[in-house]
Structure 1
Amino acid sequence: MSTLVALVEFWDREIERWIGGDLDVPPRLRSWFESYKGKGAGEVILDVFPEPYTGKLIGNEEPVIMLGLNPGGALPRFQSHGGHFASQLETMSYHDWASTAPYSSELWESVHGPNRFYRNRFKFAQRLYARTEWDIANGIFFELYPYHSSRVTGPMTPPADVLREFVLDPIGDLNSSFVFAFGKPWFDVPRRLGLPAGRDLKVDWATPSRAAKVFPLPSGQDLVVMAQNGYAGPPGAADTDALAKALSIR
């Protein structure tokens, strides 16, 4: 069994357990859960289901892999028991649900309008590879920390073995040369994983505070970590074009 299939099966079982009413963090995830101690708006919320990834992991021929910090604020109307998404998860697996690009769905947008978080990432992927017809379900988002909080108010330092098992090893089974990570906490992850030192990516950024480094992964993929002051998302149009040139993508 591939690490990717094992990951999908694990989270399908875990979310099914949560839907069944068991909100406790299981022993296998305890060290991950305890690796962040947010307070105030950064407090972790457990009465909505965790979201370790979204996107189509199995059978995805054109994945664009993007790594974020955490799933963001809790929205009980959708993510708590009896909420719209939780109700969907009563009749489908987590992977099948995550493959539907739920946060850009008609259901979501009828209540909350367009989701800038997702739209920015889809636009980044489409522009980076010049794929205007690229299916948004092919966008794969993994989180450094899978539990919800409205803000990140403290260090996120998941153990190295957790990140290998739940993020980097499964990503290695996906058909993509690059993995893009957004947010300053990702700069320290390669060191804690014992990966080779990265190289500064020389890019003519339009945003002066943006920085990027490239780290080689054991899978043969390149991890491209990016951040700018006060922002943990993908670059805008001009910087995406500059990034594509620097990586010789197009």
Structure 2
Amino acid sequence: MSALVALVEFWDREIERWVGGDRAIPPRLQRWFESYSGKGHGEVRLDVFPEPYTGRLVDNHAPVVMLGLNPGAAVPSFQAPGGVFFEQLKTMSYSEWAATVPYASKEWESFAGRNRFYQNRFAFARRLLDDPRWPASDGVYFELYPYHSSGVTAAMSPPGDVLREFVLDPIGELDTQHVFAFGKPWFWVPDRIGLRAGRDLNVEWSTAGRQARIYPLPSGQDLIVMAQPGYAGPPGAADTAALMNALGLR
């Protein structure tokens, strides 16, 4: 079985189990769960379902792949038992739900307005591809840590074998050359998973403190890790243009 199919099937079973009322952390996820121990507003929320990825993983022929830190703040009226998304997951698999772009749905936006987290990523992809009509349904987003918290208040240190199994090996089967990881904790991942030494992208960024480094993945893809102080999202228009130049995309 391919790593991508195995991932989809695992999370479909896991979220079905969670929705069915079994909220225990399974042994296979225990080390991942224990790899972050934030306190206060960074405390892990177990009253809402985990979100390891969103996007269409199967039959996505033009994915733009982006990696974040975790699913962010919990909204129990959507992700807890009885919530909007919880009720949707009673009638569809997690992979089907994740492919609907739920955080740009009419249900979410009627409650919370446009989701800036996702809108920034949509804008980045459209600039990167120079395609203002790029469909948001082609976006694929994986998390370094799959459980919700309102902030990140401690080190996120998932084991390397866990990240290979649940993130990088499945991504290696997606039809894309560049994988973009946002947030400082991703700079610690390449060494943990045994990647070859990367190289800094020597770019005159418009945003002070921005860093970017590129690593070759075993799949032949390139992992581009980016961060700036206090922000774990994609760059704006000027720095996206600079990134495209550095990657030879324009």
TM-score (norm 1): 0.99
Q: How does 1:27-42 map to 2 (within 5 A)?
A: 27-42=27-42
- Partner SS, residue 212 of structure 1: strand
Structure 1 runs, 4 residues or longer, greater than 2 Å off? none
Q: What CA distance in whole angstroms lies between the structure 2 residues aligned with 1:208 and 1:75?
A: 32
Alignment correspondent of 1:76: 76
Q: What CA distance in whole angstroms lies between the structure 1 residues aligned with 2:147 and 2:6?
A: 20
Q: How does 1:6-155 map to 2 (within 5 A)?
A: 6-155=6-155
Deviations 1:100-135 (A, max 9, x none): 000001110000000000000010011011121111
- Partner SS, residue 225 of structure 1: strand
Q: What CA distance in whole angstroms lies between the structure 2 residues aligned with 1:108 and 1:231?
A: 23
Q: What CA distance in whole angstroms lies between the structure 2 residues aligned with 1:41 and 1:192?
A: 27
- Partner SS, residue 224 of structure 1: strand
Percent of paired sites with the same residue = 68
Of stretches 201-210 and 68-77 in structure 1, the one that deviates more from structure 2 is: 201-210
Alignment correspondent of 1:174: 174
How far residue 187 of structure 1 moved from its aligned partner, in angstroms, is 0.3
How far residue 208 of structure 1 moved from its aligned partner, in angstroms, is 2.0
- Partner SS, residue 46 of structure 1: coil
Alignment correspondent of 1:208: 208
Count of residues in Structure 1 that have an aligned counterpart in Structure 2 = 250
- Partner SS, residue 157 of structure 1: coil
Q: What CA distance in whole angstroms lies between the structure 2 residues aligned with 1:249 and 1:200?
A: 17
Q: What CA distance in whole angstroms lies between the structure 2 residues aligned with 1:84 and 1:94?
A: 14
How far residue 249 of structure 1 moved from its aligned partner, in angstroms, is 1.4
How far residue 147 of structure 1 moved from its aligned partner, in angstroms, is 0.1
TM-score (norm 2): 0.99
Q: What CA distance in whole angstroms lies between the structure 2 residues aligned with 1:194 and 1:133?
A: 37
Counterpart residue identity of residue 225, structure 1: V
- Partner SS, residue 204 of structure 2: coil
Q: What CA distance in whole angstroms lies between the structure 2 residues aligned with 1:174 and 1:108?
A: 28
Q: What CA distance in whole angstroms lies between the structure 2 residues aligned with 1:249 and 1:52?
A: 29
How far residue 54 of structure 1 moved from its aligned partner, in angstroms, is 0.2
- Partner SS, residue 70 of structure 1: coil
Alignment correspondent of 2:5: 5
Deviations 1:148-172 (A, max 9, x none): 0000000000001100000000000
CA root-mean-square deviation: 0.5
- Partner SS, residue 47 of structure 1: coil
Q: How does 1:231-250 map to 2 (within 5 A)?
A: 231-250=231-250
Q: What CA distance in whole angstroms lies between the structure 1 residues aligned with 2:6 and 2:199?
A: 32
Alignment correspondent of 2:194: 194
- Partner SS, residue 96 of structure 2: helix
- The runs of 5 or more residues in structure 2 that have no matched partner are none
Deviations 1:54-88 (A, max 9, x none): 00000001100000000001100000010000000
Q: What CA distance in whole angstroms lies between the structure 2 residues aligned with 1:132 and 1:235?
A: 17
Of stretches 125-134 and 144-153 in structure 1, the one that deviates more from structure 2 is: 125-134
Counterpart residue identity of residue 19, structure 1: V
- Partner SS, residue 133 of structure 1: coil
